[in-house]
Amino acid sequence: MYDKASLALIPSGTKDGTLYSVLPADGDGDFDHTRATSATRVNKDGLIESVASGVPRLDYPLIDGVVQDCPALLLEPSRTNLVTYSEDFSEWTLSNSSVLSSQVVSPDGTQNADKVIASATNTTHFVAIIPSVSATTTYTFTLYAKSDEYERLYIRQGTGNSPSAAVYDLNGVGAVLETYGSPLDTSIELVGNEWYKITLTNITSSTSPNFAPNITGIPNSGYSADADGVTFLGDGTSGVFIWGAQLEEGSYATSYIPTSGSTVTRNADVCENAGNADLFNDNEGVLFAEFSMLNDSDTSNRYISLSDGSPDNSIMFQITGGGDLNLYNNGTSNENRIDTYLADLTQDIKVAVQYGQNTSDYKVYINGVSQSLNSSFVAETISGLDNLSIDYPTFDFKFNGKVKQLMVFNEALTDAELIELTTI
């Protein structure tokens, strides 16, 4: 079926820092990808690695610590890691704890992960850092951790007004065992080689705001924990391994941003402007995409579009701030809305919109199932298509997510072909 496509993006590689399409072979389908800073991704070996500024990131998913075969194009917003020492925990404040540097291989494949050890006293233990944060603002803390003598990890967020904390199991598939206070969200995910990625999200208080991550490994029993701290008898040698601390403003975690003495900002990814007027058929065709969103709490609208650079001549996929999928023809009014689909868009979704000259030419298939069209939809003629973008036609609303496939077909497809194309 792919040989019917006029343009196909199936992420598998880059050339000279340019994200290229499988079709057409002459390069007319290459996307303009920009990002003014370096950034990290998970490579085919499941390791976190840095790529240079401007280079597209083909990110490999991890499921239960196992790297998957098919990468996706990773497109993220700008974020800043507010933790000034993301890997060197000897630079953090130590309380009844010690740090042994570069003890084991970290998730980036090098021996640079530290071990945090609790002193041989029956008291509170932690390593902590106090980044600068704003009041009444949502932040997400991320940390990679691995068990050693201790198989549990305690993380506290903030001090004083409304702190929160959690205990995590660093054994098996990992689990959030206990929470204290009222964190907005927290999670643990196995990422390979017995390492876990832990996230903790909360809102800072309106007065004396503080997110101050406090971290310690703890024994499986014999500890007393709450939102203010954890108390237990250490032995001066037992602990856990930690690496890759990150605190960023936002309701979800993004890719790792390493720091070594100052905050670091990763700029946003932009991917747009593929194709030309010779490649696309204005009279009929199919716009298809397989993608997932980074989260379900982004308040901005995000788009994938085939257009002439204007929403008035376009087919658009709109992911709303509420997490819904709207499909549009020539604008975003109700009569331009082809269909609305309500689902968890953080999971992979395959969407195909078949367009033509008349309302009866339009079809929508999502995850292998034909969808009913909006009863108020009236098709408008499309002309001058020359631009495929992972963005709004006028490049105003950047797409944040993972794109596995993006294709344009210059002819109508059969129902059987649309089912095959969109089946997960």
CATH assignment of the domain containing 121: 2.60.120.260
Find tokens 């660093």 and name the residue.
170
106 located within any domain:
yes
pLDDT at 26 exceeding the cut of 60: no
Query: Smallest Cα–Cα separation from 89: which of 262, 260, 249?
Result: 260
What's the pLDDT at 16? Answer: 43
81 located within any domain:
no
16 located within any domain:
yes
- Of 244, 266, 288, the domain-final residue: 266
118 and 200 inside one domain: yes
84 located within any domain:
no
Burial group, residue 249, by CB count within 10 angstroms (0-12, 13-18, 19+): middle
| 160 compared with 147, residue with greater pLDDT | 147
237 and 301 inside one domain: no
Asked if 145 and 240 count as a contact pair (C-beta separation under 8 A), the reply is yes
Kindly list the distances between the CA atom of residue 407 and the CA atoms of 315, 354, 379, in Å, as whole numbers in the listed order: 13, 12, 21
| 15 compared with 319, residue with greater pLDDT | 319
What's the pLDDT at 299? Answer: 75
What's the pLDDT at 207? Answer: 84
Q: Tell me the pTM.
A: 0.92
98 and 172 inside one domain: yes
Which residues are CB-neighbours of 211 under 8 A, at least 6 positions away?
Answer: 131, 133, 139, 141, 157, 158, 202, 204, 247
Tokens of 397: 């609303």
103 and 72 inside one domain: no
What's the pLDDT at 106? Answer: 98
Mean pLDDT for 63-70 is 90
332 located within any domain:
yes
C-alpha to C-alpha distance for 417 and 370, rounded to whole angstroms: 12
233 and 246 inside one domain: yes
Mean pLDDT for 283-304 is 90
262 located within any domain:
yes
Structural domain boundaries, residue 107? 89-266
162 and 240 inside one domain: yes
15 and 109 inside one domain: no
CATH classification of the domain holding 288: 2.60.120.200
244 and 298 inside one domain: no
- Of 266, 282, 314, the domain-final residue: 266
387 and 257 inside one domain: no
What's the pLDDT at 296? Answer: 76
pLDDT band at residue 5 using 50, 70 and 90 as cut-offs:
confident
82 located within any domain:
no
334 and 368 inside one domain: yes
245 and 103 inside one domain: yes
- Of 250, 266, 282, the domain-final residue: 266
pLDDT band at residue 350 using 50, 70 and 90 as cut-offs:
very high
pLDDT at 7 exceeding the cut of 90: no
What's the pLDDT at 2? Answer: 61
234 and 321 inside one domain: no
What's the pLDDT at 149? Answer: 98
341 located within any domain:
yes
C-alpha to C-alpha distance for 319 and 329, rounded to whole angstroms: 15
Domain count, the chain: 2
Find tokens 């598998």 and name the residue.
12
